[in-house]
Amino acid sequence: MRCPAVLVAAPASGQGKTTVTAALARLHTRAGRRVRVFKCGPDFLDPFWHELASGAPVHQVDLWMTGEADIRQRLHQAATEADLILVEGVMGLYDGDPSAADLARLLGLPVLAVLDASAMAQTFGALAHGLRYFQAHSHGPLPWAGVLANRVASERHADMLRQATPEHEWLGALMRAPALALPERHLGLVAAQELPDALQRLDAAADALASTPLGQMGLADMVHAWGVEFSENFEPSRPLTPVHPALTAADLHDLKGRTVAVARDAACCFIYAANLDTLRALGADVVCFSPLADADLPPCDAVWLPGGYPELHAAALSANHALRDALRAHAAAGKPVWAECGGMMLLFDTLVDKAGTAHAMWGLLPGTVRMQARLAALGPQQLDWPGQGDGHTSALRGHTFHWSVADTPLTPVARTRRPGTAAQPVASGADGEALYQLGPVRASYFHAWFASSPATVAHLFRALPGKPTA
């Protein structure tokens, strides 16, 4: 098995690494090759573009949130099925602890550095050199594929950049072109499924990449140039389990016979593929519904309202009285509801959008949620959950990222905490997201990665589950 793989990184966000990753995936997929793309960090939006480009599911890989064993298993499985593996980094190459560079060193993933070359010339070479050799003395050499210049002004500009870069590291230049820019909004890229010309945008980027040395490399060229046998690098450190390392044999039937209805449309679209896999692995039947279009819930035992953009669809959500009433009846029957971030926002009495317009929402939770002009919270979080009488606590890992704030009379029943910090008192609010509970409804700004604690997820979606502690 010789499946080349590369980690696409950059000095910072906004350099173009998502466009390059998606373009490379699209280029090889069009050629009939099987491409699997993964995304470093907890991002929901970039994977929409990668899934469209590759035609395959995209999973997150994060050394803290998902863990090394899960990463190795997913990459190993992909390497048995695919011709090429692409991993998109997060933020800057060395940002965060652990960082994308840490992942590259751990798995031997060569780094393809994408640098926005706007307004620079020879300094491009210094920046590329620094990216490659930073931490080399303290952490060892970084596997390196080369450097690609982005947003280049002209052929003459490209020639200056090339001359500033060692010949064997130069992977080409992408010219500055509005057609190669992916649109953004306050939470990141606009989701690919919202744009009717999304595939045409990817084809344009793939066409531009095709003329570069990177775009002209075949799979054998990549294996030869990057010189790694990835089947060995991705070998799990322990025997593979049927789904993922966090599941035990006892977990596999915790939700057997139960149906979980998942909100899934433009308003509720922040869904990890691994979360759906975990629900199914726990034995649940998963059905989807649209908060924007459906008038009723599908027959179900529990509901999951994931994050998304309720603020962009507040008027339509407010007007869907039939589904609102169906969800109220579901909760009144004691059936669980788990709502994350945007999913929680539509449960409050009122949502005030960025324009200051107040919208009556579904009223399962008292209070008002209000959009603001700046980011309210960002970063990894974990929710500690008591065990089933064994005295142990399970940690459900995930992250927070939101621009709204909630004003509610509800007292939190728990708070999340940042990695490496002690649990905070429920009333403190220090660094942690509140978890609210009203009857069978539980809600938080916290986005959970279900595979980190399947037993906790089973609690969330069982009738009248135990209450978490701070």
Average pLDDT of the chain, as a whole number: 87
Q: Are strands 184-185 and 188-189 parallel, antiparallel or unpaired?
A: antiparallel
Express each pLDDT in 247-289 by its tens digit: 555 555 689 999 999 999 999 999 999 999 999 999 999 999 9
Q: Which residues of 48-66 are buried (b: 16+ CB within 10 A; e: fewer)?
A: bbbbbbbebbbbbbbbbbb
Is 341 a residue of the active site? yes
Q: Tell me the average pLDDT across 143-169.
A: 95
pLDDT band at 466 (very low <50, low <70, confident <90, very high): very low
Q: What is the pTM of this model?
A: 0.88
Choosing from 3, 40, 269, 341, the catalytic residue is 341
Q: What is the percent of the chain where pLDDT is above 70?
A: 85
The pLDDT assigned to 376 comes to 79
To the nearest 10 degrees (0 to 180), the angle between helices 46-54 and 17-30 is 10
Which of 96-110, 111-125, 217-231, 419-433 has the weakest average pLDDT? Answer: 419-433
Which of 72-81, 89-98, 425-434 has the weakest average pLDDT? Answer: 425-434
Residue-range domains of the chain with CATH: 5-233 (3.40.50.300), 251-460 (3.40.50.880)
The pLDDT assigned to 240 comes to 43
Residue 281 tokens read as: 């692995």
Q: Tell me the average pLDDT across 56-69.
A: 93
Please, are residues 264 and 239 in contact by the beta-carbon 8 Å criterion?
no
pLDDT over 80 (residue 409): yes
pLDDT band at 225 (very low <50, low <70, confident <90, very high): confident
Residues near 350 by Cβ (< 8 Å), separated by ≥ 6? 358, 359, 360, 361, 367, 368, 369
Q: Which residues of 209-219 are buried (b: 16+ CB within 10 A; e: fewer)?
A: beebebbebee
Q: Tell me the average pLDDT across 430-451.
A: 91
Which of 121-135, 256-270, 377-391, 394-408 has the weakest average pLDDT? Answer: 377-391
Express each pLDDT in 11-48 by its tens digit: 998 899 999 999 999 999 999 999 999 999 988 888 98
